[in-house]
A and B are shown apart, each in its own frame.
Chain A
Amino acid sequence: MSKISAADFVKAFQKAHPKAVKSIESTDPRRANLVVNNESFLDAAKSLRDNFGFLMPVSGGAIDYPDDNRIQMIYYLMHPSSRFMLTYRVDLNRDDPNMPSLTPVWEAMSFHEREAHEMFGIEFEDHPNMIPLLLPPEWKGGHPLLKDFKGEGKQ
């Protein structure tokens, strides 16, 4: 896999997918942030893997912004030869958070999507095995990492 710097990647991706990109920036030679539209999310992910060489999934997680009524889902990807990290993000509607699963693209995102599902209530379409990862199966207390989670335990 050829080497590419984070700044070059930013330019190249913006050129390749001008419509998909909501915002893209590289604040640091080892970091790049990319926010894409909801619709072109899956295609952009496939392009990242196949054309840009982000072969290595690192992690995935979400963050809740109740004031803006959105949940941002973040995937952490690594470029194995040039060793910079891309945070690949998408904004979801907080009332009905659903999005296509990236498990078909990066297999190892399975655990992280399961975690985001139970912690934030995000529905992932086409996830092969959506069962709780960390919380007990009989858990009924809601989604703990949402900002309005108050309860402790079963309710």
Chain B
Amino acid sequence: MMTEEQTIKRAFDNVPGSGAAYNLIDFIAGWSRKYSIWPIHFVTGCCSPEFMQVSGSRYDMERLGVLPFASVRQCDCIMVVGVVSRKMALRVKYLYDQMGDPKYVVAVGACPTGKGPFRDSYAVVAVDDYVPVDIYIPGCPPRPEAIIYGMMLLQEKIKKERRIGVKD
């Protein structure tokens, strides 16, 4: 991923104004990605009803452009909702590998973050042993406001991301 971007950059580096052009592309990409986070329909555990409430009518995550999709190919974001067992952790990894490139992981709840109330269980793992996590939202389950705040933090993070432009 990184090397390919760097070669692209090197090819046009001598052209005057290329840095500004790269920054412009990054700005547009960041803007569009920020407002169009498509998480995948995937629940690992018991925070799923709260996630349902958040995408439901009173809290309505679609305001932020978050629209759950069915197939992993079209999605940008895995929301690891709830406890991750050993059997499930492999699937989270497979899904992460199958997803197209700008991809983000949000760990919702205490269980994927640490192990939460199942700290002494033999079958529960923390999700960041398997996939890189961008945002952690603690709580058991987190309140809807917390999940929405987490998604807004993810938006901020995506907006500041520099994939091909000049890094600050």
Interface residues of A (CB under 8 A from B): 135-136, 139, 141, 144, 149, 151-153
Verify B87–A152 contact, CB threshold 8 A.
no
17 contacts between A and B (CB under 8 A): A135-B87, A135-B123, A136-B86, A136-B87, A136-B90, A139-B86, A141-B122, A144-B122, A144-B123, A149-B122, A151-B122, A152-B121, A152-B122, A153-B86, A153-B122, A153-B123, A153-B125
B residues engaging A (CB < 8 A)? 86-87, 90, 121-123, 125
In the complex, chain B residues whose CB is within 8 Å of the CB of A153: 86, 122-123, 125
Cα distance A139–B90 in the bound complex, in angstroms: 13
Interface of B is mostly: mixed
- A121–chain B nearest beta-carbon distance, Å: 15
State the Cβ distance, B93 to closest chain A Cβ, in Å.
Answer: 13
Given contacts A136-B87, A141-B122, A153-B86, 4 further A-B contacts (CB under 8 A): A144-B122, A144-B123, A153-B123, A153-B125
Give the CA-CA distance A91 to B125 in the complex, in Å: 35
Residue of chain B at shortest CB distance from A144: B122
Complex Cα–Cα for A149 and B123 (A) = 13
- In the complex the two chains form, what is the Cα distance from A149 to B121 in whole Å? 12
- Which residues of B are found within 8 Å of A139, using beta-carbon distances? 86
Of the listed residues A136, A144, A149, A151, the one surrounded by the most CB atoms of chain B closer than 10 A to its CB is A136
Report the bound CA distance from A86 to B87 in whole Å: 34
Chain A residues with Cβ under 8 A from B125's Cβ? 153
Task: Give every chain A residue within 8 A of B121 (Cβ-Cβ).
Answer: 152
Question: Which residue of the partner chain A has the closest CB to B85?
Answer: A136
How close is B121's CB to chain A, nearest CB, in angstroms? 8
CB of A62 to closest CB in B, whole Å: 17
**A136 to B90, alpha carbons, bound, how many Å?**
10
Closest 3 CB pairs of A and B: A136-B87, A152-B122, A136-B86
Residue of A nearest to B89 (CB): A136
User: Which residues of B are found within 8 Å of A141, using beta-carbon distances?
Assistant: 122
Query: Min CB distance, B129 to chain A, in Å?
Result: 11
Cα distance, A71 to B90, chains bound together (Å): 33
Q: In whole Å, how far is B158's beta carbon from the nearest beta carbon of chain A?
A: 34
Report chain B residues within 8 Å CB of A149.
Answer: 122
Considering the chains assembled together, what is the distance between the CA atoms of A153 and B87 in angstroms? 11
Q: What separation, in Å, do the CA atoms of A151 and B90 have in the docked complex?
A: 20
CB distance from B151 to the nearest CB of A (A): 31
Closest to A150 in B: B122
Question: Would you give the shortest CB distance from A145 to chain B, in whole angstroms?
Answer: 10
Complex Cα spacing A141 to B86, Å: 12
Q: How far is the CB of B84 from chain A (nearest CB, A)?
A: 12
**CB nearest neighbor in A for B121:** A152
In the bound complex, residues from chain B placing their C-beta under 8 Å from that of A144 are 122-123
